[in-house]
Each structure stands twice: as structure tokens, then as C-alpha cells.
């Protein structure tokens, strides 16, 4: 590398600076849609009402064009033998847990995407393919996704699933809160199907009120905890249970939004591009001084 | 006249490309490609042990995370040789630059292999998410890789200026091509400092952001590794591993090509590593005491063993070794110490991305499949082969001026 004069050095540095400054406003807008509407809708899952009929699993598959056995086959309790997770073949599953107090009425818990208020997947997605919509749904966009699976790494509830067997256009699959279906005014498929109204669909604020009311009125029926009210900054799907949530394999999560620390670090390093530009200027100065000193020594 | 002025980057044109060692590497590359064919024809699930519980395996932990770290020799030597203008280190800048350039190319290949929709690898260029650490890593790596190729261009122009000799009818273009190369060379020498500084800035950014990647996994990552200072630890360890990587490859290349090891420069580099490792170790242990995670070391588990291996074998032992003047002057001992640092950082990246990842609902644990290991080994072997071809073709490795490498009976060592 040839030494260059000071003027060309400054000129080139100015070009770099201008380029970096020009980037800033665009970068500020570079984020996927992430709306936390006060009117967003959610679902309250009352696991003490759920009878474990698994009809929600069937309705979900039908609504999302996933292959399914006929509805009657869901009466078979065999799948309860193993703990199941939502995957690329089933966006929601119901698990059964022993009830030590009343063995004849086991606990049954429906599992699906929690539709976080501050979703880690939305924050993590490299191309902004996942967005939080005004109606509460966290949805995935096939036109953007590159299949990197960082959303799966990020999700605190371990929900997104990936089509590992697909060579072309593998999808990320998870509950989309029936985003398309609800546009037409229809209920989410699982809510509509549930024969015992274990699932209540409505504005999240309203659901929190209903949940608090139920817990207050029947303290012997419920634990004093509405799961999802505060977990990871609040989720739009909320749960009531008759036993400690840990016994039902709910993760123990703090009240801070999952993307919090990561985004703070990220925005700290890139605050208006000041740190990188400052580092560039610092290194440039060191380089210029080191060169200058070398020339003086030789002179 | 100082030592470095007698050394000149020279193509090792008298060396043969094919040796028994090279043949073994070629087989490993072919084996990797066979499994890659399976991955592209039948999906990621067909050749890997990845599933919905463990979405990332060694293709991310080793090919990408460790690959980026081990390419850190590029920016650390650029900072030392060009930014701080220490000319005595210029002999190692080009080999380190070549390693970084090829290393990042393999990282890009590793990413393309691992992502489900490889044909959308360009999406981050036009679909931005400023909140995503992965987006930042992706963009920085793409720009930095371009910068590395630009930084390598003068080596190409140097090789061909005055020697352009196109075959057959293309021979008429010899003159214009030569003039283009000369113009390119002039333009590059005027502006190269812009790219060199940019390369260092881009490296500090994405080396640290690679650490930010796992922060969002929160409680899914074992507390021994999960910390908000992960980006700092990643940056410090990348800076510590840059020079050891240069030492390792320089000694390996010297042995493979039957050259005299560049010990005066390598010893000086070796002496710089101990303080860098010391800073890294201080932050790593400090973090452990602040967060009181040492309690997890009392339990004998995969995590505690891997953590201790990473710290003791990868940091403490080489740190102690490199403080000894005897070690830095002896090629085998210096190689051992530098190799331990390199191994320690590879282990650290595997630990962060694979071992530490403990999903809340897992039935079974993850261990890489034969296909995953084959692809990782294949890509690494391909890198070594490309490096070998490049130093034979281009002036990368510095030899004493006027005397080219004498072909010797040792030159056939793989």
C-alpha cells in the first residue's frame, strides 16, 4: 500500500462519513411491522374447563390445510401417552397431566404460539419476515423467509417449527391466530370448535379482566396466576390453571420482553451509526499519525 | 536495512500442488460434497440431526461462528501492519488476508448450506431488520467479504502486471488487459487505506454481534455462557485468536512447503498474544463471578466439563506457555500454544451455539450427524486446498529476496 497525502486521505474519509450518514434514516426505518395495539385481541385458555377432546387440533388442521385424520379419530386418548409439541404437522396440540388431588379429572393444556406483545421472533428475524399485527397475531411471510431458523432459537416458548424434509421452500410453521380467517370476521378455528368454551376470544384487556375476576371468585379452583399477563412483557394468549404452571410444563419466564437485552445491545452498538463512524475516525487518525511519524523518522 | 526488507512475497511456483496430503483432502472434499448433494436434493433433515428442538448445529457453530472467529487474523494483522504501521509484520499480512478471504468465503458457503432457502441468501440486502443481530452479522459479513476481495486485488495485479499472456486469439487483448491492471493497481494504492480501515471497523462490529446472536435465546442458553457481555467476550476472543491463527498457518505452510519458519516475526506475534488472552480471561472470569455462575461448575455435567476445557486448555494453558520466552522461540512449542488458543476459541463457539443451547422442551440431545461432520470437514479441507493453490499462484508467502524456494525433498509433505 502506497502512502497518500493528507488531502486525499481526508477526502476519502469524508466520503465514507457521508455514506454512513446517508444510511442512518433508512436504517431507522429498517424494522418489520411490529404493532402493539391497545385494542389487540387474544384468547383466554381456561385449562380447568378444557376436557381434552382435542377437537381444536382437528379444527386447526382443517383451517390451515394440513393433513388430518377424521374428527372421530381424535376421541382416541392414545396421543396423551407422550408429551407433544406443536410442529410442522400440527400448529396446536393438547397435552394431559395427572391431577394428584382428583385423578379422575386430569389437567389438559392446549399449546400453541402465545402471540407475545413483544415477540422475540419478530425482533430476531434477519429479513423481518415475522410481524406483529394490529389484531394481535404474530404472522410469518413466506415471500421474505430465508429459512435460517433464528426465530426458533429466539422463541422462549419453543414454538416455530421448520419443514426439515423439504428441499425447496421449506416453511416455518406456527399458529398464526387464524390471521386470514379472522379478516372475514370469523372466529379462530380452535375457538369456534371448542365444545365447552374453554377458549374465550376477545380484546386482551377484557380477557385480563375476565381472568382476574374468575381467579378472585373461585380461589379454590384456580392458582393465583394468570400466565401470560406479565410473562415476557405480556402475551396475547392467556392461561388459567388449577395447579402451579410449572407442573403443566409452562416455562418460568420473567416480566421483561424477550428481545429486550439483545435489542439494547444492538442499538447501543449502532446508535445513529456514531460508534462505527467514531471507530473509523479513530483508526484513520492512528493510521495517519503512524505514517506521519514514520516519515519524520526517515527524514 | 531491516529484516523485512529482505523478504518479498513470492509465488511458490516451484511447488507441486498434488501431494499425498492433498489427495486425502480432496477425498474429504468429495465426501462432503456427496452429503451436500443429499441436503440440496432431499432437504436439511435428510443429512442432519437438526430438529424443531435444536434448530442450529455445527454448521452454524463451527462453519459460521468458529469460521468467522478464525478469520480474525485478517483484521488483527491489518490493524497491526497497516493501521499501526508496523512494517516488520508485513510478511504475515498477506497470508492472513488470504486466510480471511477464503475463510469468509467458506462462512458464506456454510450459511448457504444451512439456510433452508439458500436461493434467498440475498434477501437481507433488500429486506432489513435493524433490530436483528443476525441481520447485522449478515450485512457486515457480506460487506467485509467484498472488502477482503478488494484488499486482495493488489496481489492479483502484482502477479499479472507485465506478465499477461492470454492464450490464442485472446493474445491481442494482452496489452489492454495489462493497461487495465495497471490502472486498477494505481487506483487501489490510492484508496486502499479506506478499505483497510473499513475492514477493521466491520470486523469489530460483526465479531461482537456474533456474540449478541445468542443473547436473545435468554433462558434457553446455559447460564455459564448466557451473559449480556457476550458481544464483548466474542470480540476479545476474536482479537486473541487472530495472531495465533496466523502463527499456526504460517508454521503449517512452512512445514508443508519445506520453507524456513518465519520465527523472528512469529515470536514477536506470540509475545503479543498473552496480554490479549489475559484481558479476555479477566472478562470471562469476572463475568462468572459477577453473575455467580461458578455454582454450575460444582456439578459434573457436559456443560461444566466443556466450560472448564474451554477455559483451561484454550486460555489458561496457552496463556502460561506464551509468557515463557522459551516457548515463543521454539517452533513446536509456539505451534502448540497457538494451536491451543485456536482450539479453545473453536470450542468456545461450539459451546455457545451448540452445548449451551438447552431448549425447555427437548426429548433427547443434539449430536452432529455423519453428514453434518462430513460437510464441515469438507468445507475446511476445501479451504486448505484453495489456500495451497493460491500461494502457489500468487505472491502471498514472503521468501528471502532473489533466492526462490529451493525445491527440496521435504516439499512433498502434505
Q: Are B60 and B353 in contact (CB under 8 A)?
A: yes
- B154 CB neighbours in chain A (<8 A) are 1
Question: How far does the CA of residue B120 sit from the closest CA of chain A (Å)?
Answer: 5
* Residue in B119, B216, B229, B234 to test binding to A, most A beta-carbons within 10 Å: B216
Rounded Cα gap, residues B122 and B125, in angstroms: 6
Of B134, B191, B196, the CB nearest to A148: B134
Centroid of chain to Cα A64: 19
Q: Is the dihedral of CA B315, B316, B317, B323 positive or negative?
A: positive
Rounded Cα gap, residues B261 and B255, in angstroms: 8
What does the pLDDT read at residue A190?
97
- A144 CB neighbours in chain B (<8 A) are 123, 127
pLDDT (tens, 9 = 90+) of chain A, 299 residues, equals: 444 455 555 555 555 544 544 444 444 456 788 889 999 999 999 999 999 999 999 999 999 999 999 999 999 999 999 999 999 999 999 999 999 888 999 999 999 999 999 999 999 999 999 999 999 999 999 999 999 999 999 999 999 999 999 999 999 999 999 999 999 999 999 999 999 999 999 999 999 999 999 999 999 999 999 999 999 999 999 999 999 999 999 999 999 998 888 888 888 877 778 888 889 889 988 888 888 876 665 54
CB contact under 8 A, B193 and A32: no
CB contact under 8 A, B361 and A249: yes
Q: How many CB pairs under 8 A join A and B?
A: 218
Centroid of chain to Cα B202: 15
CB contact under 8 A, A276 and B42: no
Of A16, A167, A258, the CB nearest to B41: A167
The terminus-to-terminus CA distance of chain B in angstroms comes to 35
CB contact under 8 A, A16 and B132: no
What does the pLDDT read at residue A18?
47
Q: Which three cell numbers stand for residue A204?
A: 386482551
Minimal CA–CA distance to A268: which of B363, B208, B70?
A: B208
> From 1.20.1250, 1.20.1630, 3.40.190, 3.40.50, which CATH number describes the B57-163+178-360 domain?
1.20.1630
Minimal CA–CA distance to B352: which of A222, A153, A124?
A: A153
**CA distances, B144 to each of B147, B151, B194, B205 (Å):** 5, 10, 12, 10
CB contact under 8 A, A2 and B189: yes
Rounded Cα gap, residues A128 and B127, in angstroms: 7
Counting runs of H as helices and runs of E as strands, what totals does chain B give?
16, 2
CB count in 10 Å sphere of residue B118: 16
CB contact under 8 A, B216 and A259: yes
Rounded Cα gap, residues B105 and B110, in angstroms: 9
CB contact under 8 A, A147 and B208: no
Which residue does chain B place closest to A86, by CA atoms? Answer: B52
Q: Are B334 and B328 in contact (CB under 8 A)?
A: yes
- B44 CB neighbours in chain A (<8 A) are 164, 170
* Residue in B132, B143, B147 to test binding to A, most A beta-carbons within 10 Å: B132
Q: Percent of chain B beyond pLDDT 90?
A: 81
Q: Are B56 and B357 in contact (CB under 8 A)?
A: yes
Q: Rg (Cα) of chain B, in Å, rounded?
A: 22
CB contact under 8 A, A144 and B196: no
The residue whose grid cell reads 435460517 is A148
Minimal CA–CA distance to A200: which of A39, A44, A3, A7?
A: A44
Rounded Cα gap, residues B375 and B30, in angstroms: 9
Tens of pLDDT, residue by residue over A79-121, are 999 999 999 999 999 999 999 888 999 999 999 999 999 999 9
Which residue does chain B place closest to A166, by CA atoms? Answer: B43
- B114 CB neighbours in chain A (<8 A) are 148
What does the pLDDT read at residue A136?
95
Rounded Cα gap, residues B138 and B101, in angstroms: 16
Which residue does chain B place closest to A120, by CA atoms? Answer: B216
- B147 CB neighbours in chain A (<8 A) are none
Rounded Cα gap, residues B147 and B230, in angstroms: 26
Give the containing element (helix H, strand E) for A237.
strand A237-240
Ramachandran assignment for A222, one of left (phi > 0), alpha (psi -120 to 50 degrees), beta (any other): beta
Q: Which three cell numbers stand for residue A93?
A: 396440540
Minimal CA–CA distance to A144: which of A156, A131, A133?
A: A131
Centroid of chain to Cα B70: 3
**CA distances, A84 to each of A34, A266, A277, B52, B370 (Å):** 30, 35, 50, 12, 28
CB contact under 8 A, B43 and A166: yes
CB contact under 8 A, B83 and A276: no
Q: Are B222 and B350 in contact (CB under 8 A)?
A: no
What does the pLDDT read at residue B334?
97
> What is the DSSP secondary structure assignment for residue A138, as one 8-state letter?
E
Q: Is the dihedral of CA B161, B162, B167, B171 positive or negative?
A: positive
**CA distances, A163 to each of A107, A146, A156, B55, B81 (Å):** 31, 13, 20, 11, 48
Minimal CA–CA distance to A243: which of A128, A144, A100, A124?
A: A100
Rounded Cα gap, residues A34 and B189, in angstroms: 46
**Residue B286 three-state SS:** helix
Range(s) of chain B covered by CATH 1.20.1630:
57-163+178-360
- B352 CB neighbours in chain A (<8 A) are none
Q: Are A16 and B191 in contact (CB under 8 A)?
A: no
Rounded Cα gap, residues B205 and B139, in angstroms: 10
Q: What is the DSSP string of B62-96?
A: IIIIIHHHHTTHHHHHHIIIIIS--GGGHHHHHHH
Question: How far does the CA of residue B140 sit from the closest CA of chain A (Å)?
Answer: 12
Q: Which three cell numbers stand for residue B82?
A: 497497516
The residue whose grid cell reads 379478516 is A183
The residue whose grid cell reads 505514517 is A291
Spans of chain B, pLDDT less than 70: 1-6, 402-414
Helices B370-393/B230-257 angle, 10° precision: 60
CB contact under 8 A, B197 and A280: yes
Question: How far does the CA of residue B261 sit from the closest CA of chain A (Å)?
Answer: 25
- B141 CB neighbours in chain A (<8 A) are none
Q: Are A256 and B50 in contact (CB under 8 A)?
A: no
Which residue does chain B place closest to A13, by CA atoms? Answer: B194
Q: Are B4 and B381 in contact (CB under 8 A)?
A: no
What does the pLDDT read at residue A258?
86
Question: How far does the CA of residue A218 sit from the closest CA of chain B (Å)?
Answer: 31
* Residue in A172, A287, A293 to test binding to B, most B beta-carbons within 10 Å: A287
- A154 CB neighbours in chain B (<8 A) are 216-217
> What is the DSSP secondary structure assignment for residue A184, as one 8-state letter?
T
Which residue does chain A place closest to B152, by CA atoms? Answer: A1
**CA distances, A126 to each of A16, A114, B161, B213 (Å):** 25, 21, 42, 11
What does the pLDDT read at residue B91?
86
Amino acid at each position: 500500500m502506497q502512502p497518500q497525502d493528507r488531502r486525499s486521505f481526508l477526502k476519502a474519509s469524508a466520503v465514507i462519513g457521508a455514506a454512513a450518514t446517508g444510511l442512518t434514516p433508512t436504517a431507522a426505518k429498517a424494522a418489520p411491522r411490529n404493532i402493539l395495539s391497545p385494542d389487540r385481541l387474544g384468547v383466554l385458555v381456561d385449562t380447568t374447563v378444557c376436557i381434552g377432546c382435542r377437537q381444536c387440533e382437528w379444527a386447526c388442521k382443517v383451517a390451515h390445510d394440513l393433513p388430518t385424520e377424521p374428527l372421530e379419530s381424535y376421541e382416541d386418548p392414545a396421543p396423551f401417552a407422550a408429551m407433544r409439541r406443536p410442529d410442522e404437522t400440527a400448529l396446536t396440540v393438547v397435552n394431559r397431566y395427572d391431577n394428584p388431588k382428583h385423578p379422575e379429572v386430569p389437567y389438559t393444556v392446549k399449546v400453541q404460539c402465545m402471540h407475545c406483545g413483544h415477540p422475540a421472533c419478530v425482533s430476531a428475524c434477519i429479513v423481518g419476515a415475522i410481524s406483529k399485527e394490529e389484531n394481535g397475531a404474530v404472522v410469518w411471510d413466506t415471500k421474505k423467509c430465508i429459512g435460517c431458523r433464528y426465530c426458533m432459537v429466539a422463541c422462549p416458548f419453543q414454538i416455530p417449527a421448520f419443514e426439515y424434509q423439504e428441499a425447496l421452500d421449506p416453511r416455518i410453521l406456527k399458529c398464526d391466530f387464524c390471521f386470514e380467517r379472522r379478516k372475514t370476521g370469523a372466529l379462530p378455528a380452535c375457538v369456534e370448535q371448542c365444545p365447552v368454551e374453554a377458549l374465550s376470544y376477545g380484546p386482551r384487556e377484557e380477557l385480563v379482566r375476565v381472568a382476574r375476576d374468575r381467579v378472585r371468585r373461585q380461589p379454590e379452583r384456580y392458582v393465583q396466576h394468570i400466565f401470560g399477563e406479565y410473562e415476557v412483557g405480556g402475551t396475547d394468549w392467556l392461561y388459567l390453571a388449577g395447579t402451579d404452571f410449572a407442573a403443566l410444563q409452562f416455562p418460568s419466564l420473567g416480566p421483561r420482553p424477550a428481545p429486550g437485552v439483545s435489542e439494547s445491545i444492538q442499538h447501543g452498538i449502532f446508535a445513529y451509526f456514531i460508534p462505527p463512524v467514531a471507530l473509523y475516525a479513530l483508526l484513520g487518525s492512528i493510521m495517519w499519525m503512524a505514517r506521519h511519524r514514520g516519515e519524520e523518522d526517515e527524514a | 536495512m531491516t529484516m523485512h526488507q529482505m523478504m518479498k512475497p513470492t509465488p511458490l511456483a516451484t511447488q507441486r500442488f498434488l501431494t499425498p496430503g492433498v489427495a486425502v483432502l480432496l477425498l474429504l472434499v468429495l465426501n462432503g460434497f456427496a452429503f451436500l448433494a443429499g441436503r440440496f436434493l432431499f432437504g436439511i433433515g435428510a443429512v442432519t440431526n437438526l430438529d424443531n428442538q435444536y434448530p442450529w448445529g455445527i454448521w452454524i457453530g463451527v462453519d459460521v461462528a468458529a469460521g468467522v472467529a478464525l478469520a480474525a487474523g485478517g483484521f488483527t494483522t491489518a490493524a497491526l501492519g497497516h493501521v499501526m504501521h508496523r512494517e516488520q509484520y508485513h510478511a504475515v499480512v498477506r497470508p492472513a488476508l488470504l486466510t480471511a478471504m477464503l475463510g469468509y468465503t467458506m462462512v458464506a458457503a456454510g450459511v448457504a448450506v444451512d439456510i433452508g432457502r439458500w436461493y434467498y441468501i440475498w434477501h437481507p440486502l433488500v429486506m432489513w431488520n435493524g433490530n436483528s443481530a443476525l441481520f447485522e452479522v449478515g450485512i457486515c459479513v457480506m460487506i467485509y467479504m467484498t472488502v477482503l476481495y478488494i484488499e486482495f486485488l493488489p496481489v492479483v495485479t502484482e502477479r499479472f502486471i507485465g506478465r499477461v499472456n492470454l492464450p490464442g486469439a485472446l493474445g491481442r487483448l494482452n496489452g489492454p488487459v495489462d493497461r487495465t491492471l495497471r490502472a486498477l493497481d494505481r487506483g487501489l494504492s490510492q484508496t486502499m487505506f479506506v478499505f483497510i480501515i473499513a475492514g477493521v471497523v466491520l470486523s469489530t462490529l460483526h465479531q461482537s454481534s456474533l456474540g449478541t446472536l445468542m443473547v436473545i435465546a435468554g433462558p434457553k442458553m446455559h447460564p455459564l455462557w448466557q451473559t449480556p457481555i457476550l458481544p464483548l467476550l466474542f470480540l476479545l476472543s476474536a482479537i486473541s485468536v487472530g495472531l495465533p491463527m496466523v502463527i499456526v498457518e504460517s508454521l503449517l505452510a512452512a512445514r508443508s512447503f519445506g520453507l524456513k519458519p518465519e520465527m523472528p516475526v512469529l515470536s514477536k506475534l506470540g509475545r503479543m498474544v498473552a496480554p490479549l488472552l489475559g484481558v479476555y480471561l479477566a472478562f470471562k472470569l469476572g463475568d462468572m463471578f459477577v453473575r455467580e455462575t461458578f455454582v454450575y461448575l460444582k456439578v459434573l455435567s457436559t456443560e461444566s466439563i466443556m466450560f472448564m476445557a474451554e477455559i483451561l486448555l484454550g486460555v489458561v494453558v496457552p496463556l502460561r506457555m506464551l509468557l515463557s520466552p522459551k516457548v515463543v522461540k521454539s517452533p513446536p512449542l509456539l505451534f502448540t500454544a497457538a494451536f491451543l488458543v485456536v482450539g479453545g476459541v473453536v470450542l468456545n463457539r461450539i459451546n455457545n451455539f451448540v452445548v449451551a443451547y438447552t431448549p425447555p422442551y427437548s426429548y433427547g440431545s443434539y449430536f452432529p450427524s455423519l453428514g453434518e461432520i462430513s460437510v464441515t470437514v469438507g468445507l475446511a479441507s476445501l479451504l486448505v486446498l484453495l489456500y495451497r493453490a493460491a500461494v502457489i499462484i500468487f505472491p502471498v508467502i514472503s521468501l528471502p529476496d532473489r533466492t526462490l524456494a529451493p525445491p527440496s525433498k521435504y516439499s512433498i509433505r502434505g
